[in-house]
Chain A
Amino acid sequence: MTDAKQFETFLRNYQDMVFSTAMRLVANTAEAEDISQEVFLRAFKRFGELAGDPRAGGWLKTVAINLSLNHLTRYRARWSFFSEIFHRAETGEETEIEYAAPDNVEENTAASERRVLVEEALRQLPRAQRVPLVLYHLEGMKYEDIAAKLGVSLGKVKTDIFRARAVLRKKLGPRLQEEGRPRA
């Protein structure tokens, strides 16, 4: 297999993971796509080391998180001056949520509906709450690490995550409790 073919397979295997990581942080499809492309272009440059390395997924995730956070702090701050008024990023965009592995037909539709609702609620969170929440719950980072990464105080991180959870609970209400129940 040529390098290009190998890289294409590599890209195919990891694209959903990288895109999801970026998407849940920046909450914008086009921006997440740009970030994912950049992540893979960096991977392409070091494909010699990454190909066949079991840690490649972790490396891609870390780069995706870093690029997304860079994007949020630099790009947004630069371009959001006036046009942010018209930008709906803070409230999330209205695109259809599509999962990489669609739910099994056997699995009840309630679960997939619930996931879509969770995803939408996540996107609608303000950036200051969404980013630490995603880093904590989805990326498994500690409060201290999140504070260091975002350059904010530990107290702010805890407060933002707490508020984000409260908002999610308010939006999702009883569906959250359904989550805990064993599936039929």
Chain B
Amino acid sequence: MNPELEKELEREINRALQDLPDLAAPPGLLARTMTAAERPVLWYALSWAEWTLPMRIAFLVFTLMAVAALFFGWRAVEPGLLAAASRHLAPMAGGLTSVWKFLSALAGALALAVEHLGKGFMLACLVVAAGSWALCAGLGTMFVRFASARPGRNL
């Protein structure tokens, strides 16, 4: 395009846009914002930057103590206490071993099935899985938008 014409177009558009007055804010904006502004904000909803200085100091001290307890606290624990704790935890560890054995058997069976079913079948399974995932994501997104839509909001 001719640079002169381009400049002329820029001027025309600039004039047209600069001439636009402010749009009227929706009537509910004021009330909605005032309600939200006056609602008390709970401490856990505040960002770190908004915490008061005593709260920040207390939090730092607590965090340092927690880290120190994690790293050095075990030295303070009596050896007998550790042995007792491990006795209590042993049955749970036994349970975990059974779960691990079960999962290993399942993985072995899966590997065997893959070996016998062939590449074509596996590829088809992958395509079906990807399609199902896409369908779920799509429907999920749509439903979330639908559920959170307010009157006047485009879906």
Which A residues fall within an 8 A CB radius of B? 4, 7-8, 11-12, 15-20, 23-24, 28-31, 33, 36-37, 40-41, 44-45, 79, 81-83, 86-89, 93, 95, 97-101, 111, 114-115, 118-119, 122, 133-134, 137-138, 162, 165-166, 168-169, 172, 176-177, 179-180
Contact = CB atoms under 8 A, between A and B. Distances in A.
A33 B29 contact: yes
A103 B21 CA distance: 9
Nearest to A172: B16
A176 B155 contact: no
Contacts of A119: 20, 23
Main secondary structure of the interface of B (DSSP, over half): helix
Given A23-B23, A37-B36, A177-B12, A82 B141 contact: yes
Given A20-B23, A37-B29, A29 B13 contact: no
Interface in B17-34: 17-26, 28-30, 32-34
B16 A45 contact: no
B155 A83 contact: yes
B78 interface: no
Nearest to B13: A165
Main secondary structure of the interface of A (DSSP, over half): helix
Contacts of A33: 25-26, 28-29, 32
A111 to B, nearest CB: 8
Contact of A82 (B16, B50, B142): B142
Contacts of B92: none
A15 B25 contact: yes
B25 A36 contact: yes
Nearest to B46: A45
Contacts of A8: 30, 34
A134 B137 CA distance: 33
